[in-house]
Amino acid sequence: MSRSDFLSFTVSIVEQGTNEDKADLRLAIRERCRTDIELFAELFFPHYCKHNFNDFHRDVFTYYSQPKRNGRFVRSAPRGYAKSTITALVKPIHDACYGFERFIVIISNGQSQANGKLKDIRNEILSNTALVDTYGIKFPRSNPAETEFSTICDGHKTTFKAVGTGVQVRGIRTEEARPSKIICDDVEHSDEVENEEIRIKYENWFFEDVCKIGDENTNIEFIGTILHKDALLSHLLVNPSYDSKSY
C-alpha cells in the first residue's frame, strides 16, 4: 500500500472504525513507521509538517530508513529548510518510540538553544495524544527536567540531554551507558565563526571531546547552515569519514 493510500486508510479507520479496527490500525502504524520516517512525521506531527517535504527531508528520510550504528552523517542547508524539525525533533522521538537509541545528546549553539530543542521533545510527549495512544511513550517521573530527562516506551528507556557548544562533555553517561547518538544541530554562531581562534577552538572541541564521548556504536549527526568557508561544517562536508551532502 502506498504512503498516500495508507494515510487515507488511517483517516477512514479513525473516523469510522470500531475499537478493534483502531487497535489493529495502531499495530499496523507501528510496523509501517518503524522504517518509514516520512509517514511517522505526517501522521504524528502534522502541526509541524504543514508544507511539502523538500529534497533535504527526503534525503534524510532515506538515510534514516535503515537503522545503523557508528554512522557519521553531515548535511548543510540554508536557513528555513526546517532541518531541525526532522533531525532534532521527529527522529529523536522516533528513536525513543522504537528503542533505537539509549542515550541521545543534542548539542546546539548555546545552552538555552539546546534546552529549547529538548523542550519541544518534552512538549510532544506530554501533549501529542495520537503519539502517546499509539506508542505508549511516557516519562518515568513527573516534571521532566529542562536539560536532561528520560522516556519509557515498551520497556525501552531513552535518555535525552541538552548541551551548549563548547561545554565540557567528557565523561557524560547515563548510568553505565555512553551516548548512543549525538545530534549537533546548528552548533556554530554567525558572529563567532568569523573569528579564526574560535573556529579552531570549536573544531578541536568537536573532534577531541564530542566525538570521543560515545563508543564504537555511537551515531554522530551534524546539521546546519554553512556560515564560513573554514567553518567546522564546511570541513566535515569534505571529510571522507562522513556521509555528506549540501543543499
Over residues 45-96, the pLDDT tens digits come to 999 999 999 999 999 999 999 889 999 999 999 998 999 999 999 999 999 9
107: enclosing H helix or E strand = strand 103-108
Over residues 107-133, the pLDDT tens digits come to 999 999 999 999 999 999 999 999 999
Q: What is the pLDDT of residue 143?
A: 86
Cβ atoms of 107 and 88 within 8 Å: the answer is no
Over residues 201-239, the pLDDT tens digits come to 999 999 999 999 999 999 999 999 999 999 999 999 999
Q: Which of 70, 111, 4, 94 is nearest to 216 (CA)?
A: 70
Q: What is the pLDDT of residue 247?
A: 95
Over residues 153-170, the pLDDT tens digits come to 999 999 999 999 999 999
Q: What is the pLDDT of residue 78?
A: 93
Residue 142 confidence (pLDDT) above 90: no
**Distance separating alpha carbons of residues 159 and 173, to the nearest angstrom:** 10
Q: What is the pLDDT of residue 189?
A: 92
**Distance separating alpha carbons of residues 19 and 137, to the nearest angstrom:** 20
Q: What is the pLDDT of residue 67?
A: 87
Q: Calculate the dihedral angle through the C-alpha atoms of 210, 124, 3, 101, rounding to the nearest 10 degrees.
A: 30
Interacting residues of 44 by C-beta distance below 8 A, sequence separation 6+ = 90, 128, 130, 131, 134
Over residues 170-205, the pLDDT tens digits come to 999 988 899 999 999 999 998 999 999 999 999 999
Cβ atoms of 27 and 35 within 8 Å: the answer is no
Cβ atoms of 153 and 136 within 8 Å: the answer is yes
Residue 146 confidence (pLDDT) above 90: no
Q: What is the pLDDT of residue 36?
A: 97
Q: What is the pLDDT of residue 238?
A: 98
Assign 14 a pLDDT band (cuts: 50, 70, 90). confident
Which cell numbers hold the place of 195?
A: 573569528
Q: What is the pLDDT of residue 175?
A: 86
Residue 139 confidence (pLDDT) above 90: yes
Q: What is the pLDDT of residue 35?
A: 96
Residue 1 confidence (pLDDT) above 90: no
Alpha helices (runs of H) in 65-195, residue ranges in sequence order: 83-85, 91-98, 111-127, 129-135
Residue 15 confidence (pLDDT) above 90: no
